[in-house]
């Protein structure tokens, strides 16, 4: 099965982004494909390379970057939501790219299932 994932919450104020990451990782390990992960609303904070969680805490931003690198997962950040929250190309974590809502629409069309995490 081919999944698309929508993440609407930031990495440190809600469980949604960590759950989305765990879902993506488990899906890939089970042999499924991830067409795209789209970050919208506060979910764009998952792409901020300036985030520095304590060393004894999970680093969701780094986890997403590693997933993208290891499995060639397309991580797309909504441009309008990103700019509202100060996320630009110069502080974008590795593996992420900024684009528009058309990428979310395409993901919904191309994937067998679109799974949403967060409000």
Which one has a higher pLDDT value, 58 or 69?
Answer: 69
The domain ranges of the chain are 2-117
* Mean pLDDT, residues 55-83 taken together: 92
pLDDT the model gives residue 9: 96
Q: Which residues belong to the active site?
A: 78
pLDDT the model gives residue 34: 98
Domain 2-117: top CATH class: alpha beta
Q: What share of the chain is helix, strand, coil (3-state, %, to 5)?
A: 45, 25, 35
> Does 112 score more than 90 pLDDT?
yes
Q: What is the pLDDT of residues 11-59, one digit of tens each?
A: 888 899 999 999 999 999 999 999 999 999 999 999 999 887 777 777 8
Q: Cα-Cα-Cα-Cα dihedral of 77, 78, 82, 87, to 10°?
A: 30
pLDDT the model gives residue 88: 94
Contact 95, 39 (CB under 8 A): no
Q: What is the pLDDT of residues 91-111, one digit of tens each?
A: 999 999 999 999 999 999 999
pLDDT the model gives residue 6: 98
């Amino acid at each position: 099965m081919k999944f698309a994932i929508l993440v609407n919450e930031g990495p440190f104020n809600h469980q949604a982004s960590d759950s989305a990451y765990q879902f993506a990782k488990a899906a890939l390990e089970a042999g499924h494909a991830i067409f795209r992960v789209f970050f919208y609303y506060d979910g764009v904070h998952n792409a901020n390379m300036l985030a520095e969680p304590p060393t004894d805490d999970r680093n969701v931003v780094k986890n997403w970057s590693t997933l993208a690198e290891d499995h060639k997962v397309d991580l797309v950040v909504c441009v309008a939501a990103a700019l509202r929250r100060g996320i630009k190309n110069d502080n974008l974590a590795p593996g992420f790219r900024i684009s528009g809502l058309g990428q979310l629409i395409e993901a919904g069309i191309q994937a067998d299932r679109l799974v949403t995490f967060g409000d």
